[in-house]
Amino acid sequence: AGPHCFAFYQGMDAYAKLADDDMMSFYMTDFLCRQFDAFFMKPLGLDRHPELIKDYFGNYQKLVYIAQTDDPELDRVAEKAAALLGLAYERRSTGYGDLTTELAEAATRG
For the CA atoms of 70, 32, 7, 60, the dihedral, rounded to the nearest 10 degrees, stands at 110
- CA angle at 58 for the pair 1 and 15, rounded to the nearest 5°: 35
Residues 6+ apart with CB under 8 A from 103: none
Three-state DSSP class for residue 89: strand
- Tell me what percent of the residues of the chain surpass a pLDDT of 90: 59
Average pLDDT over residues 68-96: 94
Contact 15, 3 (CB under 8 A): yes
φ/ψ (deg, to 5) at 66: -90, 95
Give residue-wise pLDDT tens across range 39-77.
Answer: 999 999 999 999 999 999 999 999 999 999 999 999 999
